[in-house]
């Protein structure tokens, strides 16, 4: 596909997540030059534009109207207008509206240009001290407890750093669920109010951070980025078993015939019964 040279451009513009000094000169130039700015919340964006002396028409584009609005924006781009997309804060599409619009614009063979800048998830990862060579961004976990715990269970054994956003009124419940599903000793980083006056980055175990938030209600305020240390890989012993599998097999071997012990241990640990049977024979010979 070749982009339509006579059409306008859709700019995906990152805006500050707190500190207004983080709006890049390029982002400011783009916002001043486009024909219209598509905004998640026009009232919020109008205040940002007013601060920088930018006067451009605004068009609401949010979760509830994005699909219909996309058709209108595509037509305007085809007519040669240039349009900027902004969210309330940070980079559009990152746990914010914009996917359907960008997809529609690209499907129409029109140009989409990124104007990089602030992103809470990336900012938090950069100062967290967590492994950052590989990571997974979950976005928001389910709001209801049962769904949240189910998703945590699915992520519990993920071996790399994973990251979620959380709101102040759910942060305590989320930590309670993490203690239940991941264990109180799993390491976390809570990054709160990034780039704002009361920016705080706390690190510790789930239990330690629960105590901190219980003791200081100020630490429960603001928007959170939560970074979770990946699950530790189980130590594999010389016989090819993890310490947990070997311990489980050892208990069963003392009480049951070898074949039955290895079959039950296989169901409990997921290790092949042949490997467990062989290890069990070695245990008997010790």
Integer Cα distance of 178 and 156 in angstroms: 9
pLDDT at 266: 87
- The alpha carbon dihedral of 84, 89, 91, 94 has a sign of negative
Integer Cα distance of 204 and 129 in angstroms: 11
Nearest residue to 139 via CA among 231, 225, 66? 225
* 86 bridge partner residues: 39
Domain 121-228 annotated CATH 3.30.950.10: yes
pLDDT in tens, the chain (286 residues): 455 668 999 999 999 999 999 999 999 999 999 999 999 999 999 999 999 999 999 999 999 999 999 999 999 999 999 999 999 999 999 999 999 999 999 999 999 999 999 999 999 999 999 999 999 999 999 999 999 999 999 999 899 999 999 999 999 999 999 999 999 999 999 999 999 999 999 999 999 999 999 999 999 999 999 999 999 875 555 567 788 888 888 889 888 988 898 899 888 888 888 888 888 888 776 5
Q: Are 130 and 189 contacting, i.e. CB atoms less than 8 angstroms apart?
A: yes
Place of tokens 């976390």: 188
Domain boundaries, the chain: 9-118, 121-228, 243-285
pLDDT at 1: 46
What is the CATH topology of the domain spanning 9-118?
Cobalt-precorrin-4 Transmethylase; domain 1 (3.40.1010)
Q: Find the length of the chain.
A: 286
Give whole-number Cα distances, 102 to 46, 71, 136, 163, 278, in Å: 22, 11, 22, 24, 57
């Amino acid at each position: 596909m070749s982009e339509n040279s006579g059409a306008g451009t859709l700019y995906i513009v990152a805006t500050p997540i707190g500190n207004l000094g983080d709006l890049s000169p390029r982002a400011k130039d783009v916002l001043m030059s486009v024909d219209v700015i598509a905004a998640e919340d026009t009232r919020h964006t109008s205040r940002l534009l007013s601060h920088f002396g930018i006067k451009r028409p605004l068009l609401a584009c949010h979760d509830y109207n994005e699909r219909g609005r996309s058709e209108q924006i595509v037509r305007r781009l085809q007519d040669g207008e240039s349009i900027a997309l902004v969210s309330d804060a940070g980079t559009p599409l990152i746990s914010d509206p914009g996917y359907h619009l960008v997809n529609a614009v690209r499907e129409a063979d029109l140009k989409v240009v990124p104007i990089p800048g602030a992103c809470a998830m990336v900012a938090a990862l950069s100062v967290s001290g967590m492994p950052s060579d590989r990571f997974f961004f979950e976005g928001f976990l389910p709001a209801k407890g049962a769904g949240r715990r189910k998703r945590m269970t699915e992520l519990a054994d993920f071996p790399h750093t994973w990251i979620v956003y959380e709101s102040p009124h759910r942060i305590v419940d989320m930590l309670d669920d993490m203690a239940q599903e991941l264990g109180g000793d799993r390491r976390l980083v809570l990054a709160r109010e990034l780039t704002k006056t009361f920016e705080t980055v706390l690190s510790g175990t789930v239990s330690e951070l629960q105590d901190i938030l219980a003791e200081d209600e100020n630490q429960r305020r603001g928007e959170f980025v939560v970074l979770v240390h990946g699950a530790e890989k189980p130590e594999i012993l010389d016989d090819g078993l993890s310490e947990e599998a070997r311990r489980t097999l050892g208990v069963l071997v003392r009480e049951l015939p070898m074949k039955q012990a290895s079959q039950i241990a296989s169901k409990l640990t997921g290790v092949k019964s042949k490997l467990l049977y062989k290890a069990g024979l070695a245990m008997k010979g010790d």
